Chains A and B, each alone.
Chain A
C-alpha cells in the first residue's frame, strides 16, 4: 500500500562553506520497509537531529538520494514542489514532548491534519476518533490536552502522527518522558500501528528501556550510519 517505505542513499548534509564548513551527515544509507519500526541511535552531535530534519523535509540535504515509496523526493535538490504538503500528507511526526495544540481538544488535535489537507471536518473527526479508539484514548476525545496524563498525551500525539496514514513516521525520542511500562506500551503501539497501516517508523532514541525492542537499529556516529540487528524483545 505504501510502496517500499523510505530509502536513503549516500545522504550528505554540510553546514556553512569554506574553512567553517561542517559535515553533519557524511554518508547516510538507510532503508525502512513498510510496517517496520527501526531505531536510530547515536551520541549527541552525531547527526541524529540533522538526519531527522532532512527526513522531515525541514532542511535540504547537500547530496545523496531520498526515496519515499516509489518516488525520488530528493536527488541534487528537492524533487517535490510542495514540501509543506509532503510533510502534511506523507510524513508523520511524533515529538519528544507531545506538543499538542493546547487550545484544541483531543479530537481536533488529531483531526487538524486531515482538515489542513482539505478533508471535511466530519470525515477528519471520524478518522481521528477511529485512531483514538485504537490507541485506547477514545474516552478522552473531548478532553483538552492539559487534562490528559503524560501517557495519554503521547498516545494522542501518536494518533496525530498517524492520522493521514503517511508512508513514514519520524518519532523523536517519543518515550523520553515516560516510565518503563509506558515507554514499552508506546513502542508496542508504534509496532502495532506500523503493521496495521504499513507505515515505516524511525524512532530516534537514547532510551535504554526501548532499544532492545528494535529488530533493526541504525547507529549514527560522526554523520555516518551503521546498521545493526536488534534483539526485538518485549513486544509480545
Chain B
C-alpha cells in the first residue's frame, strides 16, 4: 500500500514546508524559552562552581550573599580558617552595578576577592587572557562578556582600574558578567560616598557635641576615621578538606560562630528554588502558552488541509478506504508538519541562541522532550480534523 500522506505532502510540498517553517519558528521560540531557563539555572550553578567554595558563611538568618544582602565582619574568616577540616577561607563581596568604560556603561557584578594566590575561594578559576591580580589595589579581572580587553581602563565609583586579565562564564545568577577587583577596593566601593556627602557627614559629626568634646580632640578624629572605613564583607567562602564532612563543619560554624552557613546543595536550592523561581514560573507559563498556541496552529492547519480534501475523502470512503487509512493520512501529515517544524525550530534556536544577551543553554534532553511534545501535540491536534474526515458521508461523492 502506498503512503497517501507522503504522496499528498510531496504533491503540495511547498505549502507544507512553508507552514512547517512558520510552525518551526514558534517551536524555536519555545525551545529558546526552555534554553533561557536552563541558562539561568546553569548561570546559578556556574556561579557556585566558579566560586571554588564548599561552604558559604553569611550573616545570621539571611539567605545571602546572592539571594539576600548579608554583612559580616571582615575578620570572621580568621576564626573559621582555624577550625578543623577547613583548608581555605576567604572574604568576598558582591555588588551589582554599572561599570564605566569610556563612554560605555556595562552592568556587571563587581566581586571583591582577597588578593592572594590562585585557587583562593572567590577567584576566577581560569583566565583566557592576561594574568590574575597581583596588586592590592586598582587591578581587575573581567568576564569576556563585559567586552573589556586586557589593558582597558575601567571606572568603578570614583576609582580607575586596569583590566589585567579576562575570564569566561563567570556570571551572576541573573547573567550579569563579573568583574573581580581587590577586596579592599570592593569594600570601599560598596560604601564610598561622593565628596559632598563626605563633607556633609564630617560637618554633622563635628557639630555633634557627643563626638566633638572640648579638650578631647582625638574622639572626633576616631569617629570620622571609623565612618570612612568599611569592615564588612558579604560572605566568607570556605574550602574544606575532602576527607571531612561539609555538613559537620557547617554545623560547627553555626554553633560556635553564630552565623548562617550553607553547603553547596543548600546554596543551589536557594539560587534555583528561590532566586530564579519566579522567573522559571514565568518561563513555564510562556512554555504552556506557546504549546497551546502551537497546538492551535497545527490543529487549524491540519483541519484546513482536511477540509480542502473533503471531496477526495468522500471518494476514498466510497471506494472502500478504511477509516483507519484516512485517519492515518491526516495524522501522518500532522506529524510530518510537526517534524518539519521541529527541525526548523531546532536549527533556528541553535542559530539565534548565541545572539541573546543572556546565556541560552539548549540541552539535548530538552530537545528530546520538545520533540516528543511536538509529536504528542500534533497527534492531539489532528483529532479534530480526523473527526471531521470520518464524518464525511461517502454519498457526497455521488451528489444529488
User: Which residues in A have some Cβ–Cβ distance to B below 8 Å?
Assistant: 48-50, 52-53, 56, 58-59, 84-89, 93, 95-96, 99, 101-104, 108, 112-113, 115-117, 121, 144, 160, 172
Separation of A144 and B319 alpha carbons in the complex (Å): 20
Are A99 and B397 in contact (CB-based, < 8 A)?
A: yes
User: Which residues in B have some Cβ–Cβ distance to A below 8 Å?
Assistant: 1-2, 4, 7-8, 10-12, 311-312, 315-316, 318-322, 325, 393-395, 397-400
Inside 8 A of B394's CB, which chain A residues have their CB? 58, 87
Inside 8 A of A84's CB, which chain B residues have their CB? 320-322
Separation of A58 and B315 alpha carbons in the complex (Å): 12
Are A56 and B318 in contact (CB-based, < 8 A)?
A: yes
With contact pairs A58-B318, A95-B315 given, residues A103 and B398 touching in the complex (Cβ less than 8 Å): no
Are A52 and B398 in contact (CB-based, < 8 A)?
A: yes
Q: Which residue of A lies closest to B400 (CB)?
A: A49
Beyond contacts A52-B400, A58-B393: 12 other A-B pairs, Cβ-Cβ < 8 A, are A56-B398, A58-B394, A84-B320, A85-B320, A95-B399, A99-B397, A103-B12, A108-B2, A112-B2, A112-B319, A115-B2, A172-B400
Are A101 and B312 in contact (CB-based, < 8 A)?
A: yes
Are A116 and B398 in contact (CB-based, < 8 A)?
A: no
Separation of A9 and B315 alpha carbons in the complex (Å): 28
Are A59 and B395 in contact (CB-based, < 8 A)?
A: yes
**A contacts with B: majority SS:** helix
Q: How far is the CB of A165 from chain B (nearest CB, A)?
A: 14
Separation of A96 and B400 alpha carbons in the complex (Å): 11
Sample (6) of A-B pairs whose CB atoms are under 8 Å apart: A48-B400, A95-B399, A116-B319, A117-B320, A172-B398, A172-B400
Are B319 and A49 in contact (CB-based, < 8 A)?
A: no
Q: Which residue of B lies closest to A84 (CB)?
A: B320
Inside 8 A of B10's CB, which chain A residues have their CB? 103
Q: Which of B2, B4, B312, B321 contacts A99 (CB 8 A)?
A: B312
Separation of A113 and B1 alpha carbons in the complex (Å): 10
Q: Which residue of B lies closest to A115 (CB)?
A: B1
Inside 8 A of A52's CB, which chain B residues have their CB? 398, 400
Inside 8 A of B2's CB, which chain A residues have their CB? 104, 108, 112, 115, 121
Q: Which residue of B lies closest to A125 (CB)?
A: B2
Inside 8 A of A116's CB, which chain B residues have their CB? 1, 319-322, 325
Are A95 and B398 in contact (CB-based, < 8 A)?
A: yes
Separation of A174 and B178 alpha carbons in the complex (Å): 80
Q: Which of B7, B319, B399 contacts A113 (CB 8 A)?
A: B319
Inside 8 A of B12's CB, which chain A residues have their CB? 103
Are B325 and A49 in contact (CB-based, < 8 A)?
A: no
Inside 8 A of A86's CB, which chain B residues have their CB? 320
Are B318 and A87 in contact (CB-based, < 8 A)?
A: yes
Separation of A52 and B321 alpha carbons in the complex (Å): 19
Are B7 and A104 in contact (CB-based, < 8 A)?
A: yes
Are B399 and A93 in contact (CB-based, < 8 A)?
A: no
Separation of A169 and B222 alpha carbons in the complex (Å): 114
Separation of A31 and B83 alpha carbons in the complex (Å): 109
Q: Which of B7, B395, B397, B399 contacts A108 (CB 8 A)?
A: B7
